[in-house]
Homo-oligomer: A and B are copies of this chain.
Amino acid sequence: MRKIIVQKFGGTSVADTEKIKNVAKIVIKEKQNGNDVVVVVSAMGHTTDYLVKMAKDLCANPSGREMDMLLSTGEGVSIALLAMAIQAQGYDAVSFNAMQIGIMTENVHSKARIVDIKTEKLKENLKEGKIIVVAGFQGVTEDGEITTLGRGGSDTSAVALAAALNAERCDIYTDVEGVYTTDPRVVPNASRLDEISYEEMLELAHAGANVLHPRSVETAKQFNVPMRVRSSFKLDNLGTLILGVEKMEIYKPVTGVAADLSQARIVVCDVPDKPGVAAKIFSRLAKENISVDMIIQSYARKVSNTNDIAFTIDSVDLNKTVEALEALKSEIGATGDIQVDENIAKVSIVGAGMIDRPGVASAMFETLAEQNINIRMISTSEIKISCLVDKCDAQQAVKALHKVFELESNEIAEVKGDLPNV
C-alpha cells in the first residue's frame, strides 16, 4: 500500500504566485517519490491581516461567527491557486475546503477544536491518483456553521488529517529551517535539532518558542504522528523530526533553552492560610479565561497565619487579572497588596533526558549564580526547569545555559523571517 504524506505550507510559503509555484514543485516531488500526498495550506501572506483590518473598519467588535466566515475565505484562495499550479505542471490535483471534506469541529468560533475528520472523499480522490489540497485553519460544525481553529490552526489541521488518514508523516514547511536549541538571534551558534520528542517540543513551545503551536504538537503526540518541521526554501535541509521519545535515537539531558519575555508576575500578599483560598483565586481566573503559569505559595507566617500567593500570567491578561483579584480580595480575606511585576522573564531548560539524570537542576541554578543572576521563582516539570529572572538578565542566562549544556553548533545559524524559536 502506498504511503500517505501530509504536507503543510504556511502563509509565507504561499505569499505570492511565484512562491505557490515553488510549493507545487515540492508537492510534486513527494508524489514522484511514490507517495500519496495531501497538502494543507494557510491563507496567502498578509491576507488575514487585510481581512481583519476591513472587519475592524466596519465593526468595533465583530461577531465570532462572521469573523470566521470572513477569515475562512483566505484558505479558499490559496487551495484553488495551489491546485492550479500543480495542474499546470501536469499533475492531477483537487482542492477542498473544510466543509466539503467534513473537518468537524465543536461549535465555538475563532478557536474551535477538531472533533472528527471524514476521510471518505479524501480516500476516494487519493485512490484516483489525485494530489489533494486542503484548506487549513477552518472547520465546520454539525449545523454547517463555519469555524476557525485559532492561532497555529493550519498546523493542527495538517496533523489531524495525518492522524485521520493514518499518514506516514506530517511535514510542516515553514520559513525557518527547523527547531533550534535556542533563539539564534540570542545565541548565533545555536544548533538545529535533528530530532526532538513531542514532550520536549511542547515544553519549548509553552516556554516561548513559536515554530509550532502547542495544539498541533499535542495532537501529533496523541495520535503518534511523526512531524517534520523544515524550510520551504532550503530543501537540502531536512529540518527537525518531532516524534515519540521512545523512537528517538539519542538524547542529551537538555535539548533546548528558551526565554519567555511576555509574562508578568503577580503576588497576592497576606492571604489567610486556610483551605480553599487558592482554589477560589485560580477558579476565578480560569472563569475569566486567564492562563496561569508558574505558581508559588509561600510558607505560612506563624504570627499572622497568612501567606503570599505568587504566580505568572501572560502580560496581555494583566489588567483583567488585577481587576478580578481586587474584586476577590475581601471575599478571600486577603489583607495585603496585590503586587505586579512586568520586569521579569522566564528562562527554561527542556530535555527528556533530564528524567534519568540528577543534577540538571542544580547545574542550572549554579550557572545562573555564577552569572550573578537572581532567581525569583522556580518551577519544574518532568522534562523542564523554569526560573523566573529579571528581564534584563534573560539573554545572559540563555547564553550561559546554552553553553553549559553543550548545545552549541560549529555553524552560525542563518536567521530568516520571524523569530525562529527561543
Chain A contact residues, CB within 8 Å of chain B: 17, 20-21, 51, 54-55, 57-60, 62-63, 65-67, 69-70, 72-74, 76-77, 79-81, 83-85, 87-88, 94-95, 97, 99-100, 121, 144-146
Contact = CB atoms under 8 A, between A and B. Distances in A.
A58 B94 contact: no
Given A65-B94, A66-B95, A94-B65, A55 B76 contact: no
Contact of A73 (B55, B76, B88): B76
B76 A59 contact: no
Majority DSSP secondary structure for residues of A touching B: helix
Nearest to A57: B17
A70 B76 contact: yes
B72 A55 contact: no
A324 to B, nearest CB: 28
Contact of A58 (B21, B95, B97): B21
A59 B72 contact: no
28 contacts: A21-B58, A54-B81, A55-B80, A55-B84, A58-B85, A58-B88, A59-B87, A62-B87, A63-B83, A65-B94, A66-B80, A66-B83, A66-B84, A66-B87, A66-B94, A66-B95, A67-B80, A67-B84, A69-B76, A69-B80, A69-B95, A70-B76, A73-B74, A73-B77, A76-B76, A97-B146, A100-B144, A100-B145
B66 A70 contact: no
